[in-house]
């Protein structure tokens, strides 16, 4: 495996691009190959069996591109299919759960951590189980926020939007009452609502962005294995999707936090 | 073709069950076979090419069950793939657009009709084009309400729920200002929000449920072709889905408006 190979990042759709944004910040010299399974999104409402099958196909597509590491930038995949991926892959793998939990466990002062994500993520209790393995004394409060995904995808994200404020309050009131001082944004869509979430939770709560923690973790793992590139050129990421790329650029720009200037290629994921 | 054969109804997911509810009311002696493409839902955000491909596969599955009529109980499929289906099928076909437009054009008094649906449905302008073909003098006002689908799927539907009221107002204020007296619920999810929509629109606006109009239309078409069953027994519908049936019964019950006592079978739709 060459250190010049790319890092492969995938998600059930385009939410994972919020993690790519963090990879581009943390590892600007690494080539990123992103696959968004836009033809089969969302995974969050599908069965465990289906999510496993899809995740393995997504990873095989990236391996076909000779990536040196596979990253599932998706709370649902990391939670449901993480073990299957770890066992099946011949290159380093990380989901978003482990890196995020390490950081949350380190930064909490009162030991009360909140976790928000899709229903599939929360029902899997993946963050809670991981956190309590790191430190059995941690108290973990979980809340599914399925409507957050739709709000983000429909661009209803402004901190002053009354709908945003109401939905945030509906989902987070109990976590706030429980006095969490650390809140894991366990879905790659959620960083786009971080201002509104932060407004509601107040200054006493630290938000943990799973994409950022995962990028930092990937840097550490690749560094330990001597697989960080020595090439100092800034690389252009490559993007692949499984539905037609219509409308990709506008949504991608939203998650990436910058204008999308890059080409995007459609592939047939069922062949992997 | 025997009049004893079933009527095949399909949708991208489970929303079409709100149309099945109407079929069971209008045609209780007809056998209904329902296919919900839960493994590939939602269609509304996908490309035209993908929606066409999926719709034809869905219809072929039903034809394999020897149905005497195919019904696309899905605003998106009817809008995007209606022509392709009509051309490809050897049995009578209807989507929800035509039956709904006939009724809307008949009941409006002031000639101002509102259409709400998913983004794909509204962007296709299928209802508007059809209505203005029926009567070029009609004024048609369209509004995509993508968040309605998520509200329904997350059970946030009560007319007194503040989130419901705010989202309804956000989407429908302009239609109301435009003085529509007839409002087409152009998505099979939307009847579950009809109380809240009605509260906001007021008594001056008649809501048209596309599922109900489609059941009445199917009754008419089958009657004209001598294909209505003469059997007076009340039939039990059969349900098929493309993802595992986990959680099917609770969601299905919501759309059907009654407890689900029926079995559901998973099939591999990619084979059709």
pLDDT tens digit sequence for A78-91: 989 988 999 999 99
Query: E strand or H helix at B97, and its extent?
Result: helix B97-107
| Per-residue model confidence (pLDDT) at position A196 | 98
| Per-residue model confidence (pLDDT) at position A44 | 76
Number of domains within chain B: 2
Residues B158 and B181 in one domain: yes
**Structural domain contains residue B25:** yes
Structure tokens at B135: 């009567």
Identify whether B79 is preceded by a cis peptide bond (ω within 30 of 0): no
Residues B204 and B144 in one domain: yes
| Per-residue model confidence (pLDDT) at position B262 | 75
Q: With a cut of 90, say whether residue B24 has pLDDT above it.
A: yes
Residues A175 and A238 in one domain: no
Predicted confidence band at A271 (pLDDT cuts at 50, 70, 90)? very high
**Structural domain contains residue A63:** yes
Query: E strand or H helix at A132, and its extent?
Result: helix A126-134
Q: How many CB atoms are located within 10 Å of the residue A114 CB?
A: 29
Question: Has this prediction a pTM greater than 0.95?
Answer: no
| Per-residue model confidence (pLDDT) at position A19 | 96
CATH number at residue B186: 3.40.50.1860
Catalytic residue, from A67, A187, A215, A269: name it.
A187
Q: How far is A147 from chain B (nearest CA, A)?
A: 6
Domain of B173, in residue numbers: 97-210
Contacting A residues, span 220-239, partner chain B, CB-CB under 8 Å: none
The C-alpha atoms of residue A68 and residue A161 are separated, in whole angstroms, by 42
Residues B89 and B130 in one domain: no
CA distances from A244 to A38, B48, B51, B233 (A): 8, 9, 11, 47
B187 is catalytic: yes
| Per-residue model confidence (pLDDT) at position A244 | 83
Contacting B residues, span 34-93, partner chain A, CB-CB under 8 Å: 38-41, 45-47, 49-50
Predicted confidence band at B69 (pLDDT cuts at 50, 70, 90)? very high
Strand order in the sheet with B32-36: B93-94, B69-72, B7-11, B32-36, B238-241, B264-266
Residues B68 and B84 in one domain: yes
Instruction: Report the residue from A39, A150, A243 with minimal CB separation from B150.
Output: A150
Predicted confidence band at B42 (pLDDT cuts at 50, 70, 90)? confident
**Structural domain contains residue B242:** yes
**Structural domain contains residue B221:** yes
**Structural domain contains residue A2:** no
How, if at all, do strands B93-94 and B112-117 pair?
unpaired
Distance of CA A182 to the CA centre of its chain: 17
ipTM: 0.86
**Structural domain contains residue B1:** no
Last residue of a domain, one of A171, A192, A210: A210
Residues A107 and A169 in one domain: yes
The C-alpha atoms of residue B208 and residue B104 are separated, in whole angstroms, by 7
Cβ separation of A147 and B156 shorter than 8 Å?
yes
Last residue of a domain, one of A164, A179, A210: A210
Instruction: Report the residue from A49, A166, A244 with minimal CB separation from B166.
Output: A166
Residues B103 and B39 in one domain: no
**Structural domain contains residue B259:** yes
Question: For A69-126, how does the pLDDT look when each residue is reduced to its tens digit (9 = 90+)?
Answer: 999 999 989 989 988 999 999 999 999 999 999 999 999 999 999 999 988 889 999 9
Question: For A218-260, how does the pLDDT look when each residue is reduced to its tens digit (9 = 90+)?
Answer: 999 999 999 999 999 999 999 999 988 877 777 888 888 877 7
Last residue of a domain, one of A210, A225, A249: A210
Residues B22 and B80 in one domain: yes
**Structural domain contains residue A31:** yes
Residues B102 and B81 in one domain: no
Residues A88 and A107 in one domain: no
Q: Is B35 left (phi over 0), alpha (psi -120 to 50) or beta?
A: beta
Question: For B89-138, how does the pLDDT look when each residue is reduced to its tens digit (9 = 90+)?
Answer: 999 999 999 999 999 999 999 999 999 998 888 999 999 999 999 999 99
| Per-residue model confidence (pLDDT) at position B44 | 76
Catalytic residue, from A27, A73, A74, A122: name it.
A74
| Per-residue model confidence (pLDDT) at position A48 | 86
> CB-based contact (8 Å) between B135 and chain A?
no
Residues A127 and A67 in one domain: no
Residues A166 and A116 in one domain: yes
Comparing C-alpha atoms, which of A177, A169, A117 is closest to residue A146? A117
The C-alpha atoms of residue B184 and residue B143 are separated, in whole angstroms, by 10
Question: For B167-221, how does the pLDDT look when each residue is reduced to its tens digit (9 = 90+)?
Answer: 999 999 999 999 999 999 999 999 999 999 999 999 999 999 999 999 999 999 9
């Amino acid at each position: 495996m060459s250190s010049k190979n790319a890092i492969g990042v995938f998600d059930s759709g385009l939410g994972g691009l919020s993690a790519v944004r963090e990879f581009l910040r943390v590892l600007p010299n690494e080539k990123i190959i992103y696959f968004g399974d836009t033809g089969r999104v969302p995974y969050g409402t599908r069965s465990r069996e289906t999510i496993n099958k899809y995740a393995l196909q997504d990873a095989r597509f990236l391996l076909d591109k000779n990536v040196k590491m596979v990253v599932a930038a998706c709370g649902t995949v990391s939670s449901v299919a993480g073990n299957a991926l770890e066992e099946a892959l011949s290159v380093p793998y990380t989901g978003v759960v482990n890196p995020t939990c390490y950081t949350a466990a380190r930064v909490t002062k009162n030991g009360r951590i909140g976790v928000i994500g899709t229903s599939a993520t929360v029902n899997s209790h993946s963050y809670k189980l991981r956190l309590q393995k790191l430190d059995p004394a941690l108290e973990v409060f979980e809340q599914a926020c399925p409507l957050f995904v739709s709000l983000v995808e429909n661009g209803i994200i402004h901190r002053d939007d009354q709908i945003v404020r109401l939905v945030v309050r509906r989902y987070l009131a109990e976590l706030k009452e429980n006095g969490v001082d650390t809140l894991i944004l366990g879905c790659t869509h959620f960083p786009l609502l971080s201002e509104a979430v932060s407004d509601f939770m107040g200054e006493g709560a630290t938000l943990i962005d799973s994409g950022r923690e995962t990028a930092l973790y990937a840097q550490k793992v690749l560094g330990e294995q001597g697989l960080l590139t020595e090439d100092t050129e800034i690389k252009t990421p490559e993007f692949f999707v499984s539905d037609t790329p219509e409308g990709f650029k506008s949504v991608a720009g939203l998650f990436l936090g910058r204008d999308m200037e890059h080409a995007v290629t459609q592939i047939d994921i069922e062949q992997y």
